[in-house]
Amino acid sequence: MLNIYNSLLKKYGKQNWWPCITENKQLEICLGAILTQNTSWNNVEKVIKLLNEKNLIDKEKLSKIQLRKLSSLIKSSGYHNQKAKKIKEFIKFLNSNNDITRENLLNIWGIGQETADSILLYAYNKPYFVIDDYTKGIMHKLGYCKENISYEELQNLITKNIPEDVNLYKEFHALLVQEGKSLK
């Protein structure tokens, strides 16, 4: 696995993810992780910029905004009605002051494994390797796994073969995404 990482690092250089534009980086990353479900990052960037212009990258303001208004603001991210509900549920969770754990995140409506792990890794610096379609595709293409490997199996395969290091996890995931995009 480290050979793959080193090869991608040599090819693309440091990716320095997660690209943030606001002061509230932690919340912005969480919103981005929800908004990027089933859409391109370009669409997410547009929404993040708009929410920032409206001073809505703020959990108090997001908890007060009407669902319909939020939905219309995030329309360009696709599935905007569902994503607006997911954001509202996530904000309710944040306001509950429950611990930010994988189990608690997975209990929020609309937050799956990839989104939870993205939030944990990029927003809270916890060592959870994110498995996405790019990662699955590349690992399958390289012969490390079957095409239908489960999220947990692939996550375990990768994390057992690299040091547990948040910065390594972030950089490796970002490099896999960059490689995946270049193969399209």
CA within 13 Å, CB half, 90: 27
User: How is residue 133 written in tokens?
Assistant: 């379609």
d(CA 89, CA 31): 12
Phi, psi of 110 (to 5 degrees): 90, 0
pLDDT averaged per 10 residues, the chain (length 184): 97 90 94 95 94 96 98 97 98 96 98 98 98 96 95 98 98 96 83
CA dihedral of residues 138, 178, 11, 28 (deg, nearest 10): -130
Rounded CA-CA distance 12/14 in Å is 7
Sign of CA dihedral 88, 94, 98, 103: positive
Peptide bond into 18 cis (omega under 30): yes
**What's the pTM value of the predicted model, to 2 decimals?**
0.95
Give me 110's structure tokens. Answer: 């609309």
Could you give the count of Cα atoms lying within 13 Å of 138 in the half-sphere of its Cβ? 23
Q: What is the pLDDT of residue 16?
A: 85
pLDDT at position 65, please?
98
Q: Whole-angstrom Cα distance, residue 160 to residue 138?
A: 17
pLDDT score recorded for residue 44 = 94
Look up residue 35 and give its two tokens.
């908004």
pLDDT at 17: 85
DSSP 3-state of 171 = helix
